[in-house]
Structure 1
Amino acid sequence: MNKPLPTMQQASQEAEFQLSAAKDVLEWQHALIRAVHLDHLHGGGQGIGTLFEVAKYFNDTGFGGVYSAIDQFKTLGESTPQNAQSENVAREIGGDQ
């Protein structure tokens, strides 16, 4: 089923949301890395397995929306007609023969 292309405003709003979500996931991953380091230093690494499971979960689920937003922008960019100004410049360079 073909869905209609989103408008540029809709696509940019979705991209903003997805980038914000990706930023959150990166911040959570950074906190996990710090927790792994602290566990290694102070806990002998006893909690590292559990922390890695959480990190794997973020990796498996965190960026799916970002990839779909990228695909939307690609599709939108490929479907946008050429600017009339670009056509006029090409006509002037090539001449009307």
Structure 2
Amino acid sequence: MNKPLPTMQQAAQEAEFQLCAAKDVLEWQHALIKAIHLDHLHGDGEGIGTLFEVAKYFSDTGFGGVYSAIDEFRELGESAPQNAQLENVARESGGDQ
């Protein structure tokens, strides 16, 4: 990772943003499913092709930021000091006394 690690606050803000974005996409997909169902029941399926295109667009583009954020959080977690490392640093600096 070439960029500096985000602070915990920055990581939490990014996580919140990505979760809200994912929630929005899921709500839009739910609305599309309902519209497809209603079109099937009351419109003889005339609009289903167009509704499927919108659903495909959401599927293709909706979660790109979520996937990249997951990768970023994984890198952050792998690079963060573990409990044993923190204990060693405290002992070496005399923080245990």
The verdict on a shared fold, with TM-score over 0.5 as the criterion, is: yes
* Other-structure match for 1:17: 17
Matching residue of 1:52: 52
The 1:16/1:55 distance shift into structure 2, 3 A limit, reads same
- Of 27-36 and 1-10, deviating more is 1-10
Alignment of 1:20-39 (within 5 A): 20-39=20-39
Question: Over aligned residues, Cα RMSD in angstroms?
Answer: 1.8
Name segments (4+ residues, structure 1) moved above 6 Å: none
Is there any run of 5+ residues in structure 1 with no aligned partner, and where? 89-97
Structure 2 matches for 1:1-97, cutoff 5 A?
2-83=2-83, 87=87
State whether residues 11 and 69 of structure 1, in contact with CA within 8 Å, keep that contact through their aligned partners in structure 2.
Answer: no
Q: Normalising to structure 2: TM-score of the pair?
A: 0.83
Compute the TM-score of the two structures, normalised by the length of structure 1.
0.83
Identity between Structure 1 and Structure 2 (%) = 86
For these two proteins, the number of residue pairs brought into alignment is 88
Contact 1:5 1:76 in 2 (8 A): yes
